[in-house]
Amino acid sequence: MLRCLVSRCFLTNPVAGQTRKMSGGSLAGSQSSLAGKVAIVTASTDGIGLAAAQALGQRGAHVVVSSRRQSNVDKAVAQLQSEKIQVTGTTCNVGKSEDRERLVNMTVEHCGGIDILVSNAAVNPFFGNIMDSTAAVWDKILDVNVKAAFLMTQLVVPHMEKRGGGSVVFVSSVAGYQPMQALGPYSVSKTALLGLTRALAPELAQSHIRVNCVAPGVIKTRFSQALWQDEDIVDEFKKQLSIKRLPSTSFLGVGEPEEIGGVIAFLCSKDASYITGETITVTGGMSCRL
């Protein structure tokens, strides 16, 4: 019976049947575990994106950061360089096909290839009752949060294949599991990334490319300040947290961008070489799934 179940699993799931190691060999926890790797991180001049770039760079990767504004790019590049991180920066609006192509082409020309994609870019132009959301709101959110994430992956995969494999990480949200009040369309877009991760992982496993996802809880970033600046919302979230923090160690008890950046770097490293198609929730213990 056990042999039958195992055989069925290998037949129906190409990831389970993979015998060659993907994105690296033995475990490596050193600060140089990503040496020689090239990582594109979208929306990476602030918040979780910048923290991901820092974590990848601290482990030896050459990171390519981007933002829609040149001034933000310049500031992030200067900060990362001051931390002795190899970095290249450029402007990019991931919602525009020409910008996505320019980002990928520039990375290949300047860095020689692509090993890692962290798809972090997201927008949320709507806050309110989901029944009041318009077609324009849905188009904007799905175009940037979901469609662009897939299209960026589609662009980088051929370059990862040339280097023998790679790693893709999508940044979703706890809202992808438990939709947040007044953030309906945004929550739906983050749920879609969970499905995109599962859909891509078996297919790209054949090219030794791992696809995973991170679902942060409430993190202290400029993007989520409407949440953590509202005391009532924060109090409600804190009731759901298993990890209790003192005000002296964490702002209002919410998570920090660096705590997400470290998980992303782990998923891109050899330490995660047997992980694909998974979503790691980083929520302080907030219950959001079985």
Active site residues: 186
CA angle 281, 285, 289 (to 5 degrees): 55
Distance CA 218, CA 222 (A): 11
Helix (H, G, I), strand (E, B) or coil at 23: coil
Is residue 116 within 8 A of residue 61, CB to CB? The reply is: yes
β-sheet with 87-91: strand ranges across: 87-91, 62-67, 38-41, 116-119, 166-171, 209-216, 279-282
Structure tokens at 265: 């770097």
Backbone angles phi, psi at 118, to 5 degrees: -110, 110
Both tokens of 225, joined, read: 């300040």
Q: Which amino acid is at 76?
A: A
Query: CB within 8 A of 260, min separation 6: which ones?
Result: 48, 51, 52, 171, 214, 216, 219, 282
CA distances 238 to 4, 212, 246, Å, are: 46, 27, 12
